[in-house]
Amino acid sequence: MPLGQLAGLKPAKQLREYFGEAILEAATNNSKIVVLDGDLGNSTGASTVRKALPDRFYNIGIAESNMISISAGLAACGFIPFATSLSSFLLCNAFEQIRISVAIANLNVKLVGSHSGMTTNREGPSSMSIEDFALSLGLPTFTVLVPSDPVTMHRAVQASVEINGPVYIRSSREPMPYIYSEDDCHFQVGKANVVHEGNDVTIIACGLMVPVTLDAAVILEQEGIRARVLDMHTLRPLDQDAILTAARETAAIVTAEEHMITGGMGSAVSQVVAKNCPVPMRFIGIQDRYPRSGSLEELMKSMDMLPADVAAAARDLVLIKRNQARI
Amino acid sequence: MEENKSINIQELIELARGFRLDVLTMTSRYSAHLSSCLSAVEIMTALYFGGILRYRADDPKWPNRDRFILSKGHAAPIFYTVLAHAGYFDIARLAHFREIGDELHGHPIQDTLPGVEFTSGSLGQGLSFGIGHVLARFQNGQDYWTYVLMGDGECEAGQVWEAAMSAAHLKVNQLVAIVDHNKYQQTGPISREMSLAPFVDKWKSFGWHTEECNGHDIAEILAVNERVRRVKDQPVVLIAHTVKGKGISFVEADYSFHGRGLSPEQASKAREEILCHSVN
Do the Cβ atoms of A65 and B109 come within 8 Å?
A: no
- Whether A178 is in a domain gets the answer no
Per-residue pLDDT, A241 = 98
* Residues of chain A contacting residue B119, judged by C-beta atoms under 8 Å apart: 100-101, 104-105
Say yes or no: A138 and A206 in one domain: no
Q: Can you say how many angstroms the Cα of residue B223 is from the centroid of all Cα atoms in its chain?
A: 17
- Whether A182 is in a domain gets the answer no
* A66, A78, A107: residue with CB nearest B162: A66
Per-residue pLDDT, B3 = 43
Do the Cβ atoms of A69 and B128 come within 8 Å?
A: yes
8-state DSSP, A176: -
Homologous superfamily of B2-276: Thiamin diphosphate (ThDP)-binding fold, Pyr/PP domains (3.40.50.970)
* Residues of chain B contacting residue A66, judged by C-beta atoms under 8 Å apart: 128, 131, 159, 162-163, 166
| A80-86 sheet: strands from edge to edge | A57-59, A33-37, A80-86, A110-114, A167-170, A143-145, A234-236
Q: Domain end: A170, A185, A201, which one?
A: A170
CA A189 to each of CA A106, A114, A232: distance values in angstroms, whole numbers, following the listed order = 18, 20, 10
* B103 in contact with A, Cβ within 8 Å: no
* B121, B128, B139: residue with CB nearest A79: B139
Nearest to A219 by CA among A44, A6, A26, A64: A6
> φ and ψ at B274, to 5 degrees?
-65, -40
Nearest to A39 by CA among A17, A21, A19, A66: A66
| Separation between Cα atoms, residue B200 and residue B211, nearest integer Å | 8
- Whether A188 is in a domain gets the answer no
Say yes or no: A164 and A203 in one domain: no
Say yes or no: A148 and A63 in one domain: yes
Number of folded domains in chain A? Answer: 2
Do the Cβ atoms of A97 and B121 come within 8 Å?
A: no
Range of the domain at A30: 15-170
Say yes or no: A152 and A206 in one domain: no
Say yes or no: A160 and A211 in one domain: no
The ipTM is 0.91
* Residues of chain B contacting residue A58, judged by C-beta atoms under 8 Å apart: 135, 170
- Whether A134 is in a domain gets the answer yes
CA A321 to each of CA A316, A318, A325: distance values in angstroms, whole numbers, following the listed order = 9, 5, 6
CATH number of residue A296's parent domain: 3.40.50.920
Q: In which element (H, E) is residue A323 found?
A: helix A307-326
- Amino acid residing at A303: M
Say yes or no: A154 and A76 in one domain: yes
Per-residue pLDDT, A325 = 83
Name the residue in chain A with its Cα closest to that of B108.
A105
| Separation between Cα atoms, residue A178 and residue A11, nearest integer Å | 6
* A62 in contact with B, Cβ within 8 Å: no
Per-residue pLDDT, B2 = 38
* B120 in contact with A, Cβ within 8 Å: yes
> φ and ψ at A288, to 5 degrees?
50, 40
Residue A234 predicted with pLDDT over 70: yes
3-class state of residue A252 by DSSP: coil
Mean pLDDT of all residues in A23-39: 98
Per-residue pLDDT, A240 = 98
- Structural contact between residues B116 and B109, judged by C-beta atoms closer than 8 angstroms: yes
Rounded to a whole number of angstroms, the distance from the CA of B236 to the nearest CA of chain A is: 17
Rounded to a whole number of angstroms, the distance from the CA of B123 to the nearest CA of chain A is: 10
Per-residue pLDDT, B1 = 34
| A201-205 sheet: strands from edge to edge | A193-196, A227-231, A201-205, A253-260, A281-286
Say yes or no: A161 and A233 in one domain: no
Residue A318 predicted with pLDDT over 60: yes
Per-residue pLDDT, A112 = 98
Say yes or no: A161 and A198 in one domain: no
pLDDT digits (tens, 9 = 90+) for A281-314: 999 999 999 999 999 999 999 999 999 999 999 9
- Whether A286 is in a domain gets the answer yes
3-class state of residue A20 by DSSP: helix
Q: Domain end: A136, A170, A204, which one?
A: A170
| Separation between Cα atoms, residue B200 and residue B212, nearest integer Å | 9
pLDDT digits (tens, 9 = 90+) for A139-181: 999 999 999 999 999 999 999 999 999 999 999 999 999 999 9
Nearest to B179 by CA among B123, B134, B229: B123
CATH number of residue A50's parent domain: 3.40.50.970
pTM for the full predicted model = 0.94
Selecting among A64, A131, A257, A258, the annotated active-site residue is: A64
Rounded to a whole number of angstroms, the distance from the CA of A158 to the nearest CA of chain B is: 22
Do the Cβ atoms of A76 and B132 come within 8 Å?
A: yes
Do the Cβ atoms of A100 and B163 come within 8 Å?
A: no
Per-residue pLDDT, A300 = 97
Say yes or no: A160 and A81 in one domain: yes
* Residues of chain B contacting residue A107, judged by C-beta atoms under 8 Å apart: 110
Regions of chain B where pLDDT drops below 70:
1-5, 280
Instruction: Tell me whether residue A222 is exposed, middle or buried, using C-beta atoms within 10 angstroms of its C-beta: 0 to 12, 13 to 18, 19 or more.
Output: exposed
Neighbouring residues of B11: CB distance < 8 A, sequence distance ≥ 6 = none
* B111, B131, B162: residue with CB nearest A65: B162
* A104 in contact with B, Cβ within 8 Å: yes
- Whether A183 is in a domain gets the answer no
- Structural contact between residues A220 and A182, judged by C-beta atoms closer than 8 angstroms: no
Say yes or no: A163 and A204 in one domain: no
Confirm whether A162 is a catalytic residue: no
Residue A327 predicted with pLDDT over 90: no
* A96 in contact with B, Cβ within 8 Å: yes
